Amino acid sequence: MNIINVNNTITLPRIEDWEVKEHWRKEWTPVLDEKSTDIEINDNYTIKQRALALLRRRKTWLMNRVYTTYYDEYSLLVCFDSGGVYYFNNKKYELVIQNSQIYLRDYITGETKLVYDGEFFYPTPKKWLMKSSSRLSRSHRYGIEWGKNAFRADRLFIKNHQLIAVLYFGQEAIHAVEEFHSLVVNHRNLNKHDNRPENLELCTDEENTEHYLTMKPILEAKKSWSFQN
């Protein structure tokens, strides 16, 4: 019996970047320095806000648009080009860069595994380099969970779009990551899994609603055309 990979045979309609620029009134403006780690950590920050601020402060450029950072037991690899977020246990593995490639080395056994070849990441389930998961979010958005331990009374869950927004935009994005927020992280093309910085913007709740009402008919029209053809 032949097994067909549906993901490779069906292309879902999507709004392209140029279409967002044409129809949405807010222009996307790049930051002056995406490698910047500048951020203030205030005493009134929640645990999540403090963790995100530390993740930005510890951000280090590796190659291409790939960055690493860390919080407690997890080190992260974040790719701005794809919006992908990956992580590994830094108590078990050491990050090694060689010949423009990224490896992880087991501290105990010395075993080394390629996890990024300059173009693709190679995650594995539950060990080595792991990919952020959607199973922990009610809205099925991808993110990383830091579980309870002797030093952490409650689990911490950070979604990819929150992480990348803070890593890229900095201080202002901190105010878009908690329940009582003054801003939200908006996906410009309505694809909640497209977390490239170029697809994220900070806006008010009112602007978020306006954006949805502007872009949703365009996406629906593309879906309708796709199904008819």
- In this predicted model, which residue has the larger pLDDT, 193 or 134? 193
Region 215-225: mean pLDDT is 88
5 in any annotated domain? no
pLDDT at position 9 over 60: no
What are the angstrom distances between the C-alpha of 30 and each of 33, 153, 164, 191, 200? 8, 38, 13, 20, 11
The pLDDT score that the predictor gives to residue 159 is 94
Region 139-143: mean pLDDT is 80
Region 194-210: mean pLDDT is 96
| β-sheet bridge partners, residue 152 | 149
Task: Give the position of tokens 């803070």.
Answer: 166
Instruction: Name the average pLDDT for the chain.
Output: 90
Task: Give the position of tokens 């389930």.
Answer: 125
Domain count, the chain: 1
The pLDDT score that the predictor gives to residue 227 is 61
pTM: 0.90
2 in any annotated domain? no
pLDDT at position 91 over 90: yes
pLDDT at position 168 over 70: yes
80 in any annotated domain? yes
Residue among 69, 65, 164, 153 at smallest CA distance from 116:
65
10 in any annotated domain? no
Identify whether the C-beta of residue 190 lies closer than 8 Å to the C-beta of residue 164: no
Interatomic CA distance for residues 36 and 202, integer angstroms: 18
Identify the domain containing residue 149 by its residue range. 15-228
Confidence of residue 2 (pLDDT cuts 50, 70, 90): very low
- In this predicted model, which residue has the larger pLDDT, 224 or 30? 30
The pLDDT score that the predictor gives to residue 228 is 61
* pLDDT tens-place string over residues 93-126: 999 999 999 999 999 999 999 999 999 999 998 8
Q: What is the 3-state secondary structure (H, E, C) of 121-160?
A: ECCCCCCCCEECECCCCCCCCCEEEECCECCECCCEEEEH
Region 170-195: mean pLDDT is 91
178 in any annotated domain? yes
79 in any annotated domain? yes
4 in any annotated domain? no
9 in any annotated domain? no
